[in-house]
Amino acid sequence: MNYSKRQQERTLVVIKPDGVQRSLIGEIIGRFEKLGLKLTAMKMCLLTEEFVEKHYTLDPEWRRITGEKRIKAAKEKGEKLETEDPLEITAVILEKLKKYMTSGPVIAMVWQGVHATELVRKMVGGTEPRSSDVGTIRGDYVLDSYILADSDGRAVRNLIHASGTAEESEAEIKHWFKPEEIVNYRLIAEQILYDVNLDGLLE
């Protein structure tokens, strides 16, 4: 892929119901804006359980990966799980996720720019807020953990969803937005971010 094409890389970000209720919409949007990404679509919506299940299972590997991630975290912390089968673990997580994601309004957005998926993931941080890095959105603004969520029988509350790979981004954007909901426009700041020569700054 040539680099000017890379400036058009897009990624899906969803502020989950807890992010909306914690009054973090502006803070989260501000972080991506300040990075230099361009917001090209945004809407508030209420989700159905069917929509949530489809979203999380667009990637056929998601069930296995998410189960394995939980097993790895349990090993590191010396926690005992009810099963060591990643698919069984994810089946339970998915049911909890459906409740979590349908509990209130969410904000869905498309952000565009070079390395958009990778940079958004970096800023969002790891899945479990307890262990996500300081400076990330999940690390800075919420304190939930796998062990607490497990003991309360609910999904981990981590404020935000972000696509995992560029390929996943495109599939998720298609699931969430009609093409006409995504706006194609020029952001003046892109000139300073991407222009080769920075011509025209001086009078």
d(CA 201, CA 154): 53
What does the CA dihedral 104, 89, 173, 121 come to, rounded to 10 degrees? 90
Q: How many CA atoms lie within 13 A of 90 on its CB side?
A: 16
- Give me the residue label for tokens 């001086």: 202
Span interacting with ligand ADP, options 80-88, 151-159, 179-187, 191-199, rule CB under 6 A: 151-159
End-to-end CA distance of the chain: 35
Q: Which of 146, 168, 169, 176 binds ligand ADP (CB under 6 A)?
A: 146
Q: Of the two residues 171 and 187, which places its CB atom closer to ligand ADP in the complex? A: 171
d(CA 142, CA 129): 6
Q: Does 70 bind ligand ADP (CB under 6 A)?
A: yes
Full DSSP string of 35-79? HT-EEEEEEEEPPPHHHHHHHHTSSTTHHHHHHHHHHHHHHHHTP
Minimum distance, C-beta of residue 181 to ligand ADP, in the bound complex (Å): 23
Q: Which of 40, 66, 112, 136 binds ligand ADP (CB under 6 A)?
A: 66
Q: Which of 127, 170, 181, 187 binds ligand ADP (CB under 6 A)?
A: 127
Q: Of the two residues 64 and 187, which places its CB atom closer to ligand ADP in the complex? A: 64
Q: Which of 13, 119, 161, 177 binds ligand ADP (CB under 6 A)?
A: 161
Which residue, judged by CB position, is nearest to ligand ADP in the bound state?
127
d(CA 156, CA 98): 12
Q: Does 97 bind ligand ADP (CB under 6 A)?
A: yes
Look up 55 and say whether it is catalytic: no
d(CA 122, CA 136): 7
Q: Does 164 bind ligand ADP (CB under 6 A)?
A: yes
Query: Which residues contact ligand ADP (rule: CB under 6 A)?
Result: 66, 69-70, 93, 96-97, 127, 146, 149, 155-156, 158, 161, 164
Residues involved in catalysis = 161
